[in-house]
Amino acid sequence: MANDRANVGPDGKDRHARLPSSNGRGRQAKERRGSIHRLRDGNVQYIGRTNNFDKRKSAHSRTPGKENLRLQPEFETQDYETVRGLEQYLYDVHSPILNEIRPISLRNGNIERYLEAACKFIGELG
């Protein structure tokens, strides 16, 4: 891949620790926690995703229109496709007014795969 060098640090080691992906396709996933969160004032006003919840909480607290909303974590997973799908799923359910764009473009060729991963994740929750 052309971008492989961008992931190598000065010490020659991969910048990202790797874990086996839970998607069953034999691909590797970056070792990080992804989480989906909601901002609400009774109604859900915003849906977002992050890999650093504390940093995102701080950023929202400084954003006009979001500073007085309650940040509520919703889901957490290490699988990127699942995180993307869960964000879109919650966006579709709540139609939050503070989201300026859809989490996943309708032109994104991976949208079905992301939503399938989200449905599988939710189904596994019971």
Report if residue 116 sits inside a domain.
Answer: yes
Quote the CA–CA distance of 4 and 94 in Å, as a whole number.
38
> Which CATH number covers residue 106?
3.40.1440
Q: What pLDDT band is residue 123 in, cutting at 50, 70 and 90? A: very high
pTM of the model: 0.72
pLDDT of residue 18: 31
Segments forming the whole domain that contains residue 91: 18-28+35-125
Top-confidence residue, 17 or 114: 114
Q: Is the pLDDT of residue 22 over 60?
A: no
- Cα distances from 52 to residues 18, 36, 73, 113, 115, in angstroms, run 18, 11, 11, 24, 22
Token pair for residue 63?
């954003």
Name the domain count of the chain: 1
Q: What is the mean pLDDT of the chain?
A: 81
Q: What pLDDT band is residue 126 in, cutting at 50, 70 and 90? A: confident
pLDDT of residue 27: 41
Report if residue 3 sits inside a domain.
Answer: no
**Mean predicted confidence (pLDDT) in 28-33:** 50
Up-side HSE of residue 91: CA atoms within 13 Å toward CB? 20
Report if residue 41 sits inside a domain.
Answer: yes
State pLDDT tens for residues 69-114. Answer: 999 999 999 999 999 999 999 999 999 999 999 999 999 999 999 9
Report if residue 8 sits inside a domain.
Answer: no
Query: How many CB atoms lie under 10 A from the CB of residue 19?
Result: 13
Is residue 13 within 8 Å of 69, Cβ to Cβ? no
Quote the CA–CA distance of 34 and 93 in Å, as a whole number.
20
